[in-house]
């Protein structure tokens, strides 16, 4: 069951005027027209609108409060909350690249992932990063047991990769395995990686010979 009070960032005992003010503030903040139709802001705008449609109507709010209270009473784990897993299919990504995160919690009746909001106790979500902060995009998974008033948190950080960086890395790898033109120092035109391996082998042989000489 969705927590509409969380969507509007108000307490469950908030008054009608407080709910209206929260709705006006958030609807402006998340309106798609002000956020270049970003999918994340569009979804948050819909959540805020959905929440106000219920909490802004006295009868709908009364029924909703009854259902919410029943749900909270029916599921109240008595063990401390735990995060079993929280992972991403990528830890380095470019802007606009799709990321898939997965999570699983135990003994938590309130689960939220920042910046997305409330989630189920387990699941997965696909999204695209439109903005990094100082080269990083951080997600925080909060698992709360409201009966025990305990919360555990785990962070997940995605590091920004620029297209030219990935191309540079790929070119460097290709250069290592690329056959070279024959020369006085490399008559066979061997790739750099083979020459590096051979050089390392020769160094190890020299070290072993020296070791054997000093210990004979």
Q: What is the structure's pLDDT at 146? A: 83
- Block residue for tokens 């395995």: 177
Q: What is the structure's pLDDT at 173? A: 66
Q: What is the structure's pLDDT at 41? A: 83
Same domain, 119 and 133: yes
CA dihedral 72, 74, 80, 84 (to 10 degrees): -90
- Enter the DSSP assignment of 133: B
Per the structure, the complete domain to which residue 24 belongs is given by 4-74
Q: What is the structure's pLDDT at 169? A: 62
Q: What is the structure's pLDDT at 96? A: 87
Same domain, 98 and 154: yes
Q: What is the structure's pLDDT at 11? A: 87
- In the chain (216 residues long), the average pLDDT of successive 10-residue segments reads 86 91 92 80 90 94 87 73 94 90 92 89 89 92 90 94 65 67 67 76 82 73
**pTM, to two decimals:** 0.49
Same domain, 54 and 97: no
Same domain, 88 and 117: yes
């Amino acid at each position: 069951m969705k927590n509409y009070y969380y969507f509007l960032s108000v307490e469950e005992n908030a008054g009608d005027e407080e709910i209206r003010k929260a709705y006006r503030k958030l609807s402006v903040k998340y309106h798609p027209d002000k956020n270049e139709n970003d999918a994340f802001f569009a979804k948050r705008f819909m959540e805020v609108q959905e929440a106000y449609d219920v909490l802004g109507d006295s009868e709908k709010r009364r029924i909703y409060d009854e259902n919410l209270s029943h749900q909270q009473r029916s599921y109240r784990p008595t063990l401390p909350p735990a995060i079993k897993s929280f992972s991403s299919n990528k830890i380095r990504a470019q802007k606009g690249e799709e990321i898939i995160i997965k999570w699983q919690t135990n003994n938590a009746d309130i689960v939220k992932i920042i910046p997305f909001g409330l989630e189920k106790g387990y699941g997965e979500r696909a999204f695209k990063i439109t903005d990094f902060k100082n080269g990083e995009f951080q997600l925080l998974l909060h698992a709360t047991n409201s009966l025990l008033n305990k919360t555990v948190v785990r962070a997940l950080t995605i590091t920004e990769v620029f297209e030219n960086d990935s191309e540079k890395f790929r070119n460097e790898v290709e250069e290592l395995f690329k056959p070279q033109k024959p020369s006085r120092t490399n008559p066979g035109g061997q790739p750099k990686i083979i020459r590096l391996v051979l050089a390392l082998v020769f160094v190890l042989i020299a070290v072993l010979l020296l070791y054997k000489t000093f210990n004979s």
